[in-house]
Amino acid sequence: EKILFVDKVKDILSSIGLNEAISYSFTSPKFADALLLDEDDTLRQAITLVNPLGEALSVMRTTLTHTMCETLAFNVTHFNKEATLFEVSSVYLPKALPLVELPYEEEKLAVGMYGATIDFFAIKGVVEELLSGLGLCGTYKKAQLNFLHPGRSAELFVDGESVGFVGEIH
Protein backbone atom coordinates (compact mmCIF):
# COMPACT_ATOMS: atom_id res chain seq x y z
CA GLU A 1 0.00 0.00 0.00
CA LYS A 2 2.86 2.40 0.88
CA ILE A 3 4.60 1.67 -2.44
CA LEU A 4 1.39 2.36 -4.37
CA PHE A 5 0.97 5.67 -2.52
CA VAL A 6 4.55 6.76 -3.26
CA ASP A 7 4.13 5.75 -6.91
CA LYS A 8 0.94 7.84 -7.12
CA VAL A 9 2.75 10.86 -5.62
CA LYS A 10 5.55 10.47 -8.17
CA ASP A 11 3.07 10.07 -11.04
CA ILE A 12 1.15 13.21 -10.04
CA LEU A 13 4.29 15.34 -9.70
CA SER A 14 5.73 14.02 -12.97
CA SER A 15 2.44 14.67 -14.78
CA ILE A 16 2.55 18.36 -13.83
CA GLY A 17 6.09 18.75 -15.15
CA LEU A 18 8.41 18.10 -12.22
CA ASN A 19 11.49 15.92 -12.57
CA GLU A 20 12.52 13.34 -9.99
CA ALA A 21 15.84 13.84 -8.25
CA ILE A 22 17.74 11.21 -6.30
CA SER A 23 20.43 12.21 -3.84
CA TYR A 24 22.68 10.58 -1.27
CA SER A 25 21.30 9.79 2.19
CA PHE A 26 24.49 11.37 3.56
CA THR A 27 25.06 15.07 3.97
CA SER A 28 27.39 17.59 5.57
CA PRO A 29 27.32 18.08 9.34
CA LYS A 30 26.98 21.79 8.54
CA PHE A 31 23.43 21.26 7.15
CA ALA A 32 21.80 22.36 10.42
CA ASP A 33 23.67 25.68 10.46
CA ALA A 34 22.90 26.24 6.77
CA LEU A 35 19.18 25.78 7.56
CA LEU A 36 19.47 28.08 10.60
CA LEU A 37 18.01 25.36 12.83
CA ASP A 38 17.68 26.23 16.50
CA GLU A 39 20.38 24.73 18.73
CA ASP A 40 17.84 22.44 20.44
CA ASP A 41 16.12 21.33 17.22
CA THR A 42 15.91 17.51 17.07
CA LEU A 43 16.85 17.64 13.37
CA ARG A 44 20.38 18.57 14.51
CA GLN A 45 20.75 15.08 16.03
CA ALA A 46 22.26 13.45 12.95
CA ILE A 47 23.95 10.06 12.89
CA THR A 48 27.68 10.38 12.21
CA LEU A 49 29.13 7.77 9.87
CA VAL A 50 32.08 5.73 11.13
CA ASN A 51 33.85 5.64 7.76
CA PRO A 52 32.50 8.53 5.63
CA LEU A 53 33.46 9.33 2.05
CA GLY A 54 34.50 12.78 3.28
CA GLU A 55 33.28 15.52 5.60
CA ALA A 56 30.71 16.71 3.04
CA LEU A 57 28.98 13.31 3.29
CA SER A 58 29.66 12.36 6.91
CA VAL A 59 26.20 12.34 8.57
CA MET A 60 22.86 10.73 7.75
CA ARG A 61 20.29 13.32 6.73
CA THR A 62 17.42 14.16 9.07
CA THR A 63 15.67 16.35 6.50
CA LEU A 64 15.46 16.49 2.70
CA THR A 65 15.44 20.29 2.65
CA HIS A 66 19.21 20.71 2.73
CA THR A 67 19.94 18.17 -0.02
CA MET A 68 17.22 19.68 -2.23
CA CYS A 69 18.75 23.15 -1.73
CA GLU A 70 22.18 21.75 -2.63
CA THR A 71 20.76 20.15 -5.78
CA LEU A 72 19.10 23.41 -6.82
CA ALA A 73 22.29 25.37 -6.08
CA PHE A 74 24.28 22.94 -8.24
CA ASN A 75 21.85 23.58 -11.11
CA VAL A 76 22.12 27.36 -10.66
CA THR A 77 25.93 27.26 -10.70
CA HIS A 78 25.81 25.18 -13.87
CA PHE A 79 23.75 27.87 -15.63
CA ASN A 80 20.39 26.10 -15.70
CA LYS A 81 17.83 28.89 -15.91
CA GLU A 82 15.15 26.91 -14.10
CA ALA A 83 14.52 23.64 -12.32
CA THR A 84 11.42 21.91 -11.00
CA LEU A 85 12.45 18.90 -8.95
CA PHE A 86 11.04 16.51 -6.39
CA GLU A 87 12.51 13.73 -4.29
CA VAL A 88 10.80 11.04 -2.25
CA SER A 89 13.38 9.52 0.01
CA SER A 90 14.23 8.51 3.55
CA VAL A 91 15.48 10.57 6.44
CA TYR A 92 17.09 8.96 9.47
CA LEU A 93 16.08 10.02 12.96
CA PRO A 94 18.06 8.43 15.81
CA LYS A 95 16.20 7.24 18.89
CA ALA A 96 19.26 8.25 20.92
CA LEU A 97 22.87 9.30 20.37
CA PRO A 98 25.31 7.67 20.47
CA LEU A 99 23.53 5.17 18.30
CA VAL A 100 22.71 1.90 20.08
CA GLU A 101 19.78 0.76 17.92
CA LEU A 102 18.54 1.36 14.40
CA PRO A 103 17.10 4.84 13.81
CA TYR A 104 13.60 5.66 12.70
CA GLU A 105 13.57 5.72 8.91
CA GLU A 106 10.81 7.92 7.49
CA GLU A 107 10.00 8.61 3.86
CA LYS A 108 9.59 12.31 3.09
CA LEU A 109 8.84 14.42 0.03
CA ALA A 110 10.77 17.51 -0.99
CA VAL A 111 9.85 19.75 -3.91
CA GLY A 112 12.30 22.39 -5.06
CA MET A 113 11.83 24.92 -7.82
CA TYR A 114 13.42 28.07 -9.16
CA GLY A 115 13.18 30.15 -12.32
CA ALA A 116 11.83 33.39 -13.75
CA THR A 117 8.18 32.43 -13.20
CA ILE A 118 8.61 30.53 -9.92
CA ASP A 119 7.38 32.16 -6.72
CA PHE A 120 5.58 31.12 -3.53
CA PHE A 121 2.27 30.74 -5.37
CA ALA A 122 3.77 28.49 -8.06
CA ILE A 123 5.18 26.20 -5.38
CA LYS A 124 1.89 26.27 -3.44
CA GLY A 125 0.11 25.40 -6.69
CA VAL A 126 2.19 22.23 -6.98
CA VAL A 127 1.19 21.29 -3.43
CA GLU A 128 -2.48 21.95 -4.26
CA GLU A 129 -2.26 19.78 -7.40
CA LEU A 130 -0.69 16.98 -5.38
CA LEU A 131 -3.31 17.18 -2.64
CA SER A 132 -6.11 17.23 -5.21
CA GLY A 133 -4.66 14.21 -7.01
CA LEU A 134 -4.53 12.34 -3.72
CA GLY A 135 -8.10 13.33 -2.81
CA LEU A 136 -6.94 15.41 0.16
CA CYS A 137 -7.71 18.92 1.33
CA GLY A 138 -5.10 21.05 3.03
CA THR A 139 -5.17 24.14 5.18
CA TYR A 140 -2.33 26.56 5.84
CA LYS A 141 -1.01 28.53 8.78
CA LYS A 142 1.97 30.87 9.01
CA ALA A 143 5.20 28.86 9.21
CA GLN A 144 7.77 29.45 11.94
CA LEU A 145 10.88 28.05 10.23
CA ASN A 146 14.10 30.12 10.30
CA PHE A 147 15.20 29.14 6.78
CA LEU A 148 11.92 30.21 5.15
CA HIS A 149 10.97 33.77 4.25
CA PRO A 150 8.58 34.90 7.01
CA GLY A 151 6.10 36.48 4.59
CA ARG A 152 6.23 33.78 1.93
CA SER A 153 5.85 30.52 3.82
CA ALA A 154 3.17 28.36 5.38
CA GLU A 155 2.79 25.18 7.35
CA LEU A 156 0.52 22.61 5.68
CA PHE A 157 -2.15 20.72 7.62
CA VAL A 158 -4.27 17.79 6.45
CA ASP A 159 -7.09 16.68 8.75
CA GLY A 160 -5.69 18.97 11.45
CA GLU A 161 -2.25 17.31 11.40
CA SER A 162 0.90 19.13 10.31
CA VAL A 163 2.27 17.31 7.26
CA GLY A 164 4.84 19.77 5.95
CA PHE A 165 5.59 23.28 4.82
CA VAL A 166 5.74 25.35 1.68
CA GLY A 167 7.74 28.50 1.14
CA GLU A 168 10.61 30.43 -0.30
CA ILE A 169 14.07 29.97 1.18
CA HIS A 170 15.05 33.13 3.08
Whether pLDDT at 107 is above 90: yes
- Does the structure show a pLDDT above 90 at 115? yes
Q: Which of 110, 86, 83 is nearest to 20 (CA)?
A: 86
pLDDT tens string 21-41:
999 999 999 999 999 999 999
Q: What is the per-residue pLDDT across 125-152, written as a single tens digit (0 to 9) for each?
A: 999 999 999 999 999 999 999 999 999 9
DSSP 3-state of 22: coil
Question: How confident is the model over 47-62, as a mean pLDDT?
Answer: 94
Which of helix, strand or coil describes residue 50? coil
Query: What is the secondary structure of 78-103 as a DSSP string?
Result: TT-S-EEEEEEEEEEE-SSSS--SPP
Which H helix or E strand runs over 56?
none
pTM for this predicted structure: 0.93
Residue type, 164: G
- Per the CB < 8 A criterion, the answer to whether 155 and 141 are in contact is yes
